[in-house]
């Protein structure tokens, strides 16, 4: 074959190469946040906790004045009803004497009016007016005696002075904290539950145990006392437990407020072992219909159809079917992903 014959063939080959469809650009790897699916039927989680006081109070006077007696110091044990501090009672005592005099005068006038009424020497209206004055005088006298009693600050329960806020001879206002009294014997512990775990607190088959760091070989059973359904500082939900284990002898196990512990939450509901929950942001609904999540497998995302249940917690939804515990689902940007797209996990 001549060169003239080969040239058109070579030219056609070069033209076809230069004008053909370019190869597809390599797909970018998308960073994603994921959530590891957990069964609602079985949970075994540990949390760091701390013992807190069953009873604690900041004590304050109901009246203002100068502190003349301060019978405490930090760390001191005080019995119930013990006088912790006193305010100068002079002005209050003088008021009590004045009100007492007015009360006795009104009482005498009432007795005299009663005798006159019996002899019909005064009208019923005049007697009732005297009776009203007596009632007012008695109420004023009782009130001033109560205020005089408020010049002594007493311990409402036996405890330890944890904090002293004022000094002797200092002038204080009504309601200003004087000391903080804490009951050293406690059966209450507190920990912080992540917001995603609030659904566990609503499960009927949950159980709690507590292990204190200074008694690591002993595990005590506990019950849920209360929890706050909002996160005050954004770190989670405060949860309080009470220790109801009959072995927890407060004389044998010296547990005081502030001691650290490990709290275990266990839920074993075999009937719900296949039911899971995911964040609401993980679910998406394409135009073709249905509810889906993106499951990460071998660093690529695949759509997975799911059957939705009820909302749980503050940002979770129950998945009745379609997911297995341990699978990882994408929780952000779900409408921007494509099937088979390669991803890298941020968290």
CA distances, 228 to each of 94, 202, 318, 343 (Å): 49, 12, 22, 37
126, 176: one domain: yes
Any idea what the CATH number is for the domain that residue 321 is in?
A: 2.40.420.20
Q: What is the pLDDT of residue 314?
A: 64
Residue 18 belongs to a domain: no
Say if residue 262 is in the same domain as residue 177: no
pLDDT at residue 5, rounded to an integer: 43
Q: Are residues 217 and 126 in the same domain?
A: no
Q: What is the pLDDT of residue 58?
A: 94
In the prediction, which pLDDT does 271 show? 55
CATH number at residue 225: 2.40.30.170
pLDDT of residue 43: 77
Shared-domain flag, residues 234 and 327:
no
The predicted structure's pLDDT at residue 37: 87
Query: What is the model's pLDDT at position 310?
Result: 77
Positions in the chain short of pLDDT 50: 1-18
Give the integer Cα–Cα distance in Å for 331 and 337. 11
Q: Are residues 77 and 123 in the same domain?
A: yes
Q: In terms of domains, do 309 and 285 share one?
A: yes
Q: In the chain, how many domains are there?
A: 3
Tokens (6 digits) for 234: 């954004």
Residues 51, 197 within the same domain:
yes
Distance CA 104, CA 141 (A): 10
Q: Nearest Cα to 56, choosing from 146, 133, 155, 148? A: 155
Q: Where are the alpha helices (DSSP H) in 257-319?
A: none
Regarding whether 168 and 127 lie in a shared domain, the answer is yes
How would you label 47-85 residue by residue, b for 16+ Cβ within 10 Å and e otherwise?
bebbbbbeebbebbbebebebebbebeeeeebeeeeebb
The answer to the question of residue 248 being in a domain is yes
| 241 and 99 fall within a common domain | no
> What is the reported pTM?
0.56
Which pLDDT score, from 0 to 100, does residue 20 have? Answer: 52
- The CA angle 90-143-156, to the nearest 5 degrees, is 80
Domain that holds residue 317: 30-38+273-345
Q: Where is the domain boundary, 182, 212, 244?
A: 182
Are 173 and 65 contained in the same domain? yes
**Tokens, residue 333:** 């940007």
Supply φ then ψ for residue 107, to 5 degrees.
-65, -40
Tens digits of per-residue pLDDT, 56-107? Answer: 899 999 999 999 999 888 889 999 999 999 999 999 999 999 999 999 999 9
Among 240, 272, 304, the domain boundary falls at 272
Q: Which of 272, 294, 326 is the last residue of a domain?
A: 272
């Amino acid at each position: 074959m001549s060169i003239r014959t080969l040239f058109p063939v070579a030219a056609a080959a070069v033209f076809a190469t230069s004008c053909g469809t370019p190869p597809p650009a390599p797909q970018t790897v998308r960073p994603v946040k994921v959530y590891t699916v957990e069964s609602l039927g079985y949970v075994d989680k540990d949390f760091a906790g701390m013992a807190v006081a069953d009873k604690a109070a900041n004590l304050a006077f109901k009246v203002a004045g100068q502190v003349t007696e301060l019978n405490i110091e930090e760390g001191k044990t005080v019995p119930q009803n013990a006088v912790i501090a006193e305010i100068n009672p002079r002005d209050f005592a003088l008021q009590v004497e004045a009100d007492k005099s007015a009360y006795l005068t009104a009482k005498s006038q009432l007795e005299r009016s009663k005798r006159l009424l019996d002899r019909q020497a005064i009208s019923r209206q005049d007697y009732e007016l005297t009776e009203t004055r007596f009632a007012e005088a008695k109420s004023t006298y009782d009130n001033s005696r109560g205020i005089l009693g408020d010049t002594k600050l007493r311990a409402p329960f036996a405890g330890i002075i944890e904090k002293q806020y004022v000094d002797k001879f200092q002038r204080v206002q009504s309601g200003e904290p004087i000391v903080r009294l804490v009951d050293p014997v406690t059966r209450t512990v507190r920990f912080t539950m992540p917001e995603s775990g609030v659904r566990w607190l609503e499960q009927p088959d949950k159980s709690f145990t507590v292990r204190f760091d200074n008694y690591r070989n002993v595990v005590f059973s506990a019950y849920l006392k209360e929890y706050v359904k909002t996160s005050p500082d954004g770190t989670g939900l405060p949860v309080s437990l009470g220790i109801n284990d009959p072995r927890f002898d407060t004389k044998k196990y010296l547990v005081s407020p502030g001691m650290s512990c490990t709290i275990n939450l266990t839920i074993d509901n075999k009937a719900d072992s296949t039911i899971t929950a995911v964040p609401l942001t993980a679910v998406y609904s394409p135009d073709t219909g249905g509810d889906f999540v993106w499951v990460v497998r071998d660093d690529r995302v695949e759509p997975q159809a799911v059957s939705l249940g009820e909302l749980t917690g503050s940002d979770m939804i129950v998945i009745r079917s379609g997911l297995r515990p341990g699978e990882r689902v994408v929780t952000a940007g779900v409408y921007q992903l494509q099937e088979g797209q390669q991803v890298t996990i941020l968290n």
